[in-house]
A and B are shown apart, each in its own frame.
Chain A
Amino acid sequence: QKEVEQDPGPLSVPEGAIVSLNCTYSNSAFQYFMWYRQYSRKGPELLMYTYSSGNKEDGRFTAQVDKSSKYISLFIRDSQPSDSATYLCAMDTGRRALTFGSGTRLQVQP
Chain B
Amino acid sequence: SAVISQKPSRDICQRGTSLTIQCQVDSQVTMMFWYRQQPGQSLTLIATANQGSEATYESGFVIDKFPISRPNLTFSTLTVSNMSPEDSSIYLCSTRPGLATDNEQFFGPGTRLTVL
Chain A residues in contact with chain B, CB under 8 A?
A: 6, 32, 34, 36, 41-46, 49, 51, 88, 90, 92, 94, 96-98, 100-103
Q: How far is the CA of A103 from the CA of B43 in the complex (A)?
A: 9
Can you name 19 A-B residue pairings with CB atoms under 8 Å? Answer: A6-B42, A32-B103, A34-B104, A43-B110, A44-B92, A46-B105, A46-B107, A49-B104, A51-B103, A90-B43, A90-B105, A92-B103, A96-B96, A96-B103, A97-B45, A97-B58, A98-B45, A101-B42, A102-B41
Question: Which listed residue (A46, A94, A96, A102) contacts B42, Cβ 8 A?
Answer: A102
With A43-B92, A88-B42, A103-B42 as known contacts, state yes or no: A98 contacts B105, CB within 8 Å.
Answer: yes
Report B72-116 CB contacts with A as 1/0, cut-off 8 Å: 000000000000000000001000100000011111111010000
